Amino acid sequence: AAGVIQSPRHLIKEKRETATLKCYPIPRHDTVYWYQQGPGQDPQFLISFYEKMQSDKGSIPDRFSAQQFSDYHSELNMSSLELGDSALYFCASSLRRGVDFVVETQYFGPGTRLLVL
Amino acid sequence: TQLLEQSPQFLSIQEGENLTVYCNSSSVFSSLQWYRQEPGEGPVLLVTVVTGGEVKKLKRLTFQFGDARKDSSLHITAAQPGDTGLYLCAGDGSSNTGKLIFGQGTTLQVKP
């Protein structure tokens, strides 16, 4: 079965540079979530999109922005990178069902490991 | 703010032993999910529990959702070295948008 695809898998940047992370959800999934996981920490929710509209926002810095495109893939744009941005960034996708928008289980991608030097 | 308290945070046991991991909260969750994560990889879904009191079994793993939907447990019978990894519980946040609130995780080491 197709899974969530993230690219790149590894990324090394210098301080103050920019980075773009990409996420391709499972086919037919309409919702994408972004999480950040620091070393030895649990994943923290950043932002989510449903049908190309932002649906929720968590602890995402103002230096970061994201969007979901017409083909449902999503990109997380990170500017003015700081050392503390070094982390694993996960994308997850799910499918909302029915008029009550019951959210189905989230499936995670393999993550992008970002290292800021 | 919804929080999930997971315990223990670290567990080192011998092959063949049983263990239980707990995930507790003062908040009600409409569902709880258990994930297993390998180093440098994304969390892999093990199970989703939705109904209070629900019990689900996955081979040697038994998952239970508390009657009040505030807590959950993961029990592993006859642990094997292949069970070694990070186990995370996660609940849907209160915004009804699907965002997950994670517990701190339990790092399990099963020694042969």
Q: What is the identity of the amino acid at A111?
A: G
Which segments of chain A have a pLDDT < 50? 99
**A35, A96, A110 ranked by CB distance to B41: nearest:** A110
Min mean pLDDT across A76-80, B47-51, B61-65 is at B47-51
Q: Does B95 contact A at CB distance below 8 Å? A: yes
For residues B38-61, average pLDDT: 92
Model confidence at B98, pLDDT cuts 50, 70, 90, reads confident
For residues B1-24, average pLDDT: 93
Residues A27, A2 contacting (CB under 8 angstroms): yes
Report the distance separating Cα B99 and Cα A34, nearest Å. Answer: 9
Max CA distance (Å), chain A:
47
Q: Which residue is it, tokens 């899974």?
A: A3
A45 and B101: CB-CB below 8 Å? yes
Model confidence at B102, pLDDT cuts 50, 70, 90, reads very high
Q: What are the tens digits of pLDDT across the range B16-27?
A: 999 999 999 998
Residue B2 has pLDDT above 90, yes or no: no
Which own/partner pairs from B83-87 qualify as long-range (CB within 8 Å, at least 24 positions apart)?
B83/B108, B83/B110, B84/B108, B84/B109, B84/B110, B85/B36, B85/B37, B85/B38, B86/B36, B86/B37, B86/B38, B86/B39, B87/B21, B87/B34, B87/B35, B87/B36, B87/B37, B87/B46
Q: What are the tens digits of pLDDT across the range A73-93?
A: 999 999 999 999 999 999 999
A-chain CB neighbours of B102 within 8 Å are 42-44
A-chain CB neighbours of B105 within 8 Å are 42
A-chain CB neighbours of B48 within 8 Å are 105
Residues A9, A71 contacting (CB under 8 angstroms): no
Higher local confidence (pLDDT), B84 or A1? B84
**B41, B45, B92 ranked by CB distance to A111: nearest:** B41
Residue B28 has pLDDT above 60, yes or no: yes
A-chain CB neighbours of B100 within 8 Å are 33, 35, 43, 45, 92, 106
Report the distance separating Cα B100 and Cα B11, nearest Å. Answer: 24
